[in-house]
Amino acid sequence: MAALSFQHRFEPAADSGAMPLLLLHGTGGDENDLLPLGRALSPGAALLSPRGQVLEGGAPRFFRRLAEGVFDEADVVRRAGDLAGFVAAARAEYGLAAPLAVGFSNGANIAAALMLLHPGVLAGAVLLRAMVPLSTPPAERLAGEPVLILSGRMDPIVPADNAARLAAMLKEAGAAVTHEVLPAGHGLSQADLVRAKTWLTGRP
């Protein structure tokens, strides 16, 4: 465990056929926050849930921001690299296949950055209330990894055009993107759980 750089929780798989989930919390969350969501989305899947290493007023995050909705992009790049290294080490430690990320808000943003900067680290992603993490996308290419983006129509934090740009950016990079806008705000709703579970169940 000492070699794994992020404080985290790991729950081994009860269903060996289920894809592992990498759970990435939002601002102020921790490694425990999304475990119930992970269990609900994919019962029996291995769950790997790290805690973000950046503190903003004592609240854990996965990368620094300069203001609400304004990201420190150099830090995004650095922290995505750190997270990629952690995922590789955790896969070796726990004997995991490439995980599918389930990220909320700041966790969804780092998951999107991870896909764009480090193709192959993730098998896909469920991005809940995500924003564009990098103003200029890297030239890396994805290999058709499935991505579900769920946005909230009444979200006061994520502008609709920003979420749409993220969907277009991931599509352009080669991901198989499904983007849906739900009747919700920034917080997660029952509709998110139902839609994400249906989408996950349909994965090959």
Q: 203: pLDDT confidence band, cut at 50, 70 and 90? A: low
Is residue 33 assigned to a domain? Answer: yes
Q: 2: pLDDT confidence band, cut at 50, 70 and 90? A: very low
Are 76 and 141 contacting, i.e. CB atoms less than 8 angstroms apart? no
Is residue 66 assigned to a domain? Answer: yes
User: Which tens digits make up the pLDDT trace of 69-78?
Assistant: 899 999 999 9
pLDDT at 140 over 50: yes
Give yes or no: 151 in active site.
no
Is residue 19 assigned to a domain? Answer: yes
Q: How many domains does the chain have?
A: 1
Give yes or no: 105 in active site.
yes
pLDDT given at position 134: 96
- The residue range of the domain holding 40 is 8-201
> What does the DSSP assignment read for 77-132?
HHHHHHHHHHHHHHHHHHT-PPPEEEEETHHHHHHHHHHHHSTTS-SEEEEES---
Catalytic entry in 30, 72, 82, 186: 186
What is the rounded (10 degree) CA torsion for 114, 196, 14, 1? Answer: 30
pLDDT at 137 over 90: no
CATH of the domain at 125: 3.40.50.1820
Is residue 140 assigned to a domain? Answer: yes
Is residue 2 assigned to a domain? Answer: no
User: Which tens digits make up the pLDDT trace of 18-71?
Assistant: 999 999 999 999 999 999 999 999 999 999 999 999 999 999 999 999 988 899
Give yes or no: 25 in active site.
no
pLDDT given at position 3: 58
Task: Sort strands 65-67 and 70-71 into parallel, antiparallel or unpaired.
Answer: antiparallel
Is residue 172 assigned to a domain? Answer: yes
Catalytic entry in 105, 118, 151, 179: 105
Catalytic entry in 33, 155, 179, 192: 155
Is residue 1 assigned to a domain? Answer: no
User: What mean pLDDT is reported for the chain?
Assistant: 95
